[in-house]
Structure 1
Amino acid sequence: MGDILGLVGRRLGLGLIILLVISVIIFFMVELLPGDIAQAVLGQGATEENLRALRREMGLDQPAIVRYLDWLRGAVVFDFGNSIVTGESVANTISDRFMNTLFLAAYAAVIAVPVSIVLGVIVALLRNSIFDRVANVVSLSFISSPEFFLGYILILYFAVTWGMFPAISSLSEGMSFLQLLERTFLPALTLVLVVMAHMMRMTRAAIINLLASPYIEMAKLKGTPPWRVIVKHALPNAWAPIINVVALNLAYLITGVVLVEVVYVYPGIGQALVDAVSKRDFPVVQACCLIFAATFILLNLAADVGAILTNPRLRHPK
């Protein structure tokens, strides 16, 4: 138990260091953008007095390192300042959007994870068959297709041609859970098609790699049914790479939804990021990027811990 806690502590410490480095990159890359933020906010007709007042209000009259340290202290307690455009707190502006993104990611994960693992086991059992070859071609097609392309294809057929689901995922208060599932089905399906193919191929590869092991061959020689060989002997030893790829794809579901949210006009944090970039609302941009980075690092940490717990050999590396 102490070894596991030590490994988790080291991973967590490394994750915090990486997040600190990313925060520096995010802040100073925004600082290096061309143009004057105050001029962009007030427009070309702004007077020098108004520009100086806004720069002083935004802290632009202070050195960049001082502003970074102030921003970092606030970010630790989830205080990202105020929006330049609306004047509201950035945390309040993106909190509801982030919850919408989490719901969309969870919706897609609930469908993609079990289906991809089951399909991966099936194609491993039926490897080199027609079903295996068709599944590989289809999965490679989904992996290589951009999210916005898949989104527009789904809109064309499911919304325009067949009229089964709305093309725009507009949400409103008072919606029932079934209405929410219906409105968000197409963006969730777009994410499912992308991540499910990757997880299915990884599960297939992990199972096939283990099927050549001596203990699997012994189980087959004893007359154990193929499905029992997979479920009882191969799958438990394949959990480490499977959990790793599942966690990485869950991280993608949250951090890679920007294009999907834009296509379906879904009110998530990805859409908020795009709107903030177009309006040069830099506090919102910085907050969204930092949240994406923290989420990705946290889910990578979960993947490491899951791999360690499911594979004892990783607890005692040589």
Structure 2
Amino acid sequence: MAGLLRRKRPTPVQDFVVSRGVSGLVSLLLVTLLIFVGTAMLPGDTASALLGQAATPKALEALRSALGLDQPLHLRYLGWLADALRGDFGTSLASSRPVAEVLLPRLGNSLLLAGVAAVFLLPVAIGGGIAAAIWQDSWLDRLLGFTSMLFLAMPAFLVGYILIYAFAVRLGWFPPMSVAPLAGGTRAWATILMLPVLSLVIIGQAHTMKLTRTAILTVLASDYVLMAEVKGISRRRIILRHALPNALSSILSISILTVAYLIVDVVVIEIVFSYPGLGKLMVDSVAYRDLTMVQACGFLFALIFIGMNFLADFLALLANPRRRVPARGAVA
């Protein structure tokens, strides 16, 4: 009877989901608070930006009251948060359209850009990391290491401008700005996306390649790998048959986090190429003092990034059977 009354101890997967879910929600709340306070501290006045310099004090006061800008900051934040959790981000101050109506097409464009970049980036970076681990300390390993360090040191906007100069200005192969609508068939899509995608691949592959190489070399330092080397098994077979499956957990985390960082990197790349995505919308909204749009963009970026981090750790947990085994002494 006493055994029936015992409460079952949650499994490691359940512990992970609950703990990371709570921490993710807390992080999201803190990020939204920082975004809201940051936009409130931007120089200039939203009402003045909308009405212009010729606006009368009475008109400014009436507009501030209509927009709720005369309320205390904490009340404005709580009201905005309650509406945002219901999916209502309000009305754009610049276009007077619902924020969601403007936001969703731009979000789709950004996800398309990041997704296409990930399709090319992950095989190149993970394959390069595996090759560097197989031929460790060879000329190929040194070459990949040098290029990785070179691209890691280059800011994203510089990579974009170099590609524009080389392939748009000098060679004329692609348009310098990705402002055309994503329509017209596969060739039109490829023309529009080529330079932004290439920029993201160059930026993201260096970090992913180095992390993949490090993950595999860490597994290669295990005792069972050293025993396999003593038995005369080739290094390539050891990596592909033994080290790579055991490094799968780390590689999965690296891949998901790479996609998360791509979604963040698109902000700079979209500005460089005038790509109609969420990042460009956010920067343009800052210039127009469209605070509701800025807050909604920041909320979505934070939600996507926190969600991708959760997914990376969750997949790593599922890929590692040892992390799913309950600790000794747990009550069954």
Fold-level similarity (TM above 0.5): yes
**43 and 249 in structure 1: CA distance in 2 versus 1, 3 angstrom threshold:** same
Question: How far off its partner does 1:155 sit?
Answer: 1.1
Question: How far off its partner does 1:68 sit?
Answer: 1.2
- Select which of 136, 153, 156 maps to 2:145: 136
Larger deviation: 243-252 or 199-208? 243-252
**Secondary structure of the corresponding residue to residue 58 of structure 2:** helix
Q: Which residue of 1 aligns with 2:155?
A: 146
Q: Which residue of 1 aligns with 2:105?
A: 96
Asked if 1 retains the 8 angstrom alpha-carbon contact of 2:12 and 2:323, the reply is no
Q: Which residue of 1 aligns with 2:313?
A: 304
Unaligned runs of 5+ in 2: 1-9
What TM-score comes out, normalization by structure 1 length? Answer: 0.95
Letter in 1 for 2:263: I
Per-residue CA deviation, residues 180-223 of structure 1 (Å, 9 max, x unaligned), is 12210110110101111111111111111221211112223334
Q: Distance in 1 between matches of 2:174 and 2:182?
A: 19
1:118 and 2:127 matched: yes
- Select which of 191, 194, 202 maps to 2:200: 191
Q: Distance in 2 between matches of 1:143 and 1:204?
A: 15
1:75 and 2:72 matched: no
Q: Which residue of 1 aligns with 2:264?
A: 255
- Select which of 166, 177, 185 maps to 2:175: 166
Q: Which residue of 1 aligns with 2:242?
A: 233
Unaligned runs of 5+ in 1: none
**27 and 161 in structure 1: CA distance in 2 versus 1, 3 angstrom threshold:** same
Letter in 1 for 2:171: W
Question: How far off its partner does 1:138 sit?
Answer: 0.7
- Select which of 61, 67, 71 maps to 1:52: 61
Q: Which residue of 2 aligns with 1:215?
A: 224
Letter in 1 for 2:61: R
**Secondary structure of the corresponding residue to residue 259 of structure 1:** helix
Bigger RCO (CA 8 Å, 6+ sep): 2
Q: CA RMSD in A?
A: 1.7
Q: Which residue of 2 aligns with 1:179?
A: 188
Asked if 2 retains the 8 angstrom alpha-carbon contact of 1:248 and 1:299, the reply is yes
Asked if 2 retains the 8 angstrom alpha-carbon contact of 1:74 and 1:80, the reply is yes
Q: Distance in 2 between matches of 1:166 and 1:29?
A: 35
Asked if 2 retains the 8 angstrom alpha-carbon contact of 1:247 and 1:299, the reply is yes
What TM-score comes out, normalization by structure 2 length? Answer: 0.91
1:26 and 2:38 matched: no
Q: Distance in 2 between matches of 1:226 and 1:81?
A: 59
Per-residue CA deviation, residues 153-189 of structure 1 (Å, 9 max, x unaligned), is 1111112222222211123264213321221011011
Q: Distance in 1 between matches of 2:96 and 2:178?
A: 27
Question: How far off its partner does 1:7 sit?
Answer: 1.0
**Secondary structure of the corresponding residue to residue 60 of structure 1:** coil
Q: Max radius of gyration: which structure?
A: 2
Asked if 1 retains the 8 angstrom alpha-carbon contact of 2:125 and 2:208, the reply is yes
Question: How far off its partner does 1:312 sit?
Answer: 3.0
Larger deviation: 246-255 or 294-303? 246-255
Asked if 1 retains the 8 angstrom alpha-carbon contact of 2:215 and 2:250, the reply is yes
Asked if 2 retains the 8 angstrom alpha-carbon contact of 1:171 and 1:180, the reply is no
**Secondary structure of the corresponding residue to residue 158 of structure 2:** helix
- Select which of 71, 75, 80 maps to 1:62: 71
